[in-house]
A and B are shown apart, each in its own frame.
Chain A
Amino acid sequence: MTEPVLFVDNLKTHFFTRAGVVKAVDGVSFELAKGEIMGLVGESGSGKTVTGFSLLGLVDAPGRIVEGSVRLNGTELTTLSGAALRSRRGREISMIFQDPIATLNPMLTIGQQMKMAIDAHERLSDRAAKARSAEMLTQVGIPSAAARLRAYPHEFSGGMRQRVAIAIALLHRPSVIVADEPTTALDVSIQAQILYQMRDLAAETGTAMIWISHDLAVVSSLASKLAVMYAGRIVEQGPTATLLRDPRHPYTAGLIASLPATAKPGTPLTQIPGTTPSLLSLPPGCPFAPRCANSADACNEDPQMTVKDQRGWRCFNPVGRNAEVSA
């Protein structure tokens, strides 16, 4: 087993607001091998995006990483200075966002924006920068890329804009890309195209990817492993196929059951009762307990991660085949 490119251990990112401490990320651990794609799934407000920003050291005040470790290619990121961290962003780890209209600057050409991203890490002549940018755009599937460098973001369609953003994120062939719901704002057909293109690119370049999504169906077709987040922590993780076939955590089971594909046509979709708890007033013990059909007295304690055969779950009363009670 080779050293993972990204190793996250007990990461805690808290926001110190006037109303209290919001534990947006509260003890997240996972690792990512070269070229591996991990799906990070959960409802809105479960801490997926904050996890992504924490990896890049881009948590805005009043939030900050209070504990834990993020190791990228063997370097600890959480203790790095601002400049050292900046020199790694974009070069070793980069991020793409949900809404490509909002991420690109409407007043600069694509070429200018790509040049800025190149200049951040390398000294290249204008010519070489253009060549590199055009090559990258071609790779993400933008036709007549060299001419498009002079175009502005509003001259592209939504899908094309997201490809441009992906091209910018890939310019320096980073080891890890955090993709924060990059296809959610797009048409379904374009979504599929970009999904498979990203998968191929990751395989080609050896870039590992964290694909953040609330949509289990999208992620499961892409990622080789899944991490399910709930209320700031990963409640279950493991290989995608195993997790989908045989979930352990009742929350994962609920997510899978609520997929439209699993419902018989004409019948209402299954829902998980209740709503995501406010991170300001989490119940003691398992945060999912109030919504859980399996909750018992034991659930007043915080369950730890049970690890077994490459997978893990945080639950006292796991569901599914061969489920063993472990306390």
Chain B
Amino acid sequence: MLGFIIQRFIQAVLVMAVMSVIVFFGVYAIGNPIDIVIPPDATQEIRAEAIRRLGLDRPLYEQYYYFITNLLQGDLGRSFVYNMPVLELIGGRLPATLELVLISVISATFLGVSLGIYAGYRPDSWVSKTIMAVSVLGFSVPSFWVGLILILFFAVNLGWLPAGGRGETVEIWGVAWSFPTLNGLSHIVLPAINLALFKLAMMIRLARAGTREIMLTDTIKFARAAGLSESTILRRHLLKLISIPIITVFGLELGSTLAFAVVTETIFSWPGVGKLIIDSIGVLDRPVMVAYLILVAFLFVSINFVIDLLFALIDPRVRQGAVA
């Protein structure tokens, strides 16, 4: 087990190293931030001074060297635009995204897996057919449109829920959170539903496919022949046997939603990181872009690392290095 963890950890470090190179050089290949940072009518001296101050006169490998040494000391640089440490900038926005995404992905997973198991267990009932029809909608209807409709219906017409913003927040560990207050929670509901729909549909399909496949296997027949009740079979056998793909997709979805919840955040004026990165790309704020992408890569690597550990915890064959 320890060997497994070390091996995965080394892999994670390597991926991060490669990602830092790709991100850094990739971002530096596009545009010239100087044109945006200083006014067009600036003199040559001011221009040269700005280039020097931002370190843009250095050769690229040297810039990368500074970037990496600073990064390893926990310094991701300063934003060209806001002139404040990038980490502070992102850190101030991250909790908003984090709470929204966690609530939506986790509830989508629990609800989706339950519905999917039902649909797979009773494929011919009309309830299952309804579930599957709804899941097709969840896949095919564009997210921004659903967001607008949600606002129009629940916020404008019915007036039940607020249309945007974070509402009341509470400080925990020096960070503002919305979810502990009723008002804040009411602000999360609509964007969370908006984010969750696609994931819900995917979890339903995944759980249903797994259930249909597993229910036909000899493992289930043998369990039934031993007199196990259907609820025991579902809870103890089925749930474990379909868990691997579900955990994989859960991890990937969690990562990509954290990184790219931008559409929903924009529609519901949710002050998260998605909004920040889009603005930064618009003004070519390189430090923010690079830092953000590095953080996203770090997020994915960490999530994958945790998922690998979960696999090992769940599946003895992975843990013991047998055929995976």
Query: A residues bordering B, Cβ < 8 Å?
Result: 53, 56, 58, 60-61, 86-91, 94-99, 102-109, 116-117, 119-121, 152, 154-155, 165, 168-169, 171-172
Contact = CB atoms under 8 A, between A and B. Distances in A.
B19 to A, nearest CB: 33
B222 A106 contact: no
Interface of B: 124, 216-219, 221-229, 232, 236-237, 240-241, 314-317, 320, 322-323
B222 A152 contact: no
A170 to B, nearest CB: 10
A26 B240 CA distance: 38
A154 B316 contact: yes
Contacts of A152: 316-317, 320
Contact of B226 (A102, A107, A120, A154): A120
B232 A165 contact: no
A53 B317 CA distance: 31
B226 A168 contact: yes
Contacts of B236: 108, 116
A90 B227 contact: yes
A154 B321 CA distance: 11
B219 A103 contact: yes
A186 to B, nearest CB: 15
Nearest to B319: A152
A225 to B, nearest CB: 23
Given A95-B221, A103-B222, A106-B317, 20 more contacts: A61-B124, A86-B224, A86-B227, A89-B227, A90-B225, A91-B227, A97-B218, A98-B218, A99-B218, A102-B217, A102-B218, A103-B221, A104-B219, A105-B223, A107-B316, A108-B236, A116-B226, A117-B227, A120-B227, A120-B228
A254 B168 CA distance: 85
A276 B320 CA distance: 45
15 contacts: A58-B224, A60-B216, A86-B224, A89-B224, A95-B222, A95-B225, A97-B221, A99-B218, A103-B222, A104-B219, A104-B222, A106-B317, A116-B232, A154-B320, A168-B226
Contacts of A119: 232
Given A120-B232, A154-B322, A105 B219 contact: yes
Nearest to B244: A107
A25 to B, nearest CB: 17
A192 B320 CA distance: 32
A109 B319 CA distance: 13
Contacts of B241: 105, 107
Given A103-B218, A107-B241, A154-B322, A116 B223 contact: yes
B65 to A, nearest CB: 48
B313 to A, nearest CB: 11
In this complex, which of B232, B314, B317, B320 has the most chain A Cβ atoms within 10 angstroms of its Cβ?
B317
Contacts of B124: 61
Contacts of A168: 222, 226
B103 to A, nearest CB: 29
A123 to B, nearest CB: 14
Contacts of A169: 225-226
A106 B227 contact: no
Nearest to B239: A107
B254 to A, nearest CB: 23
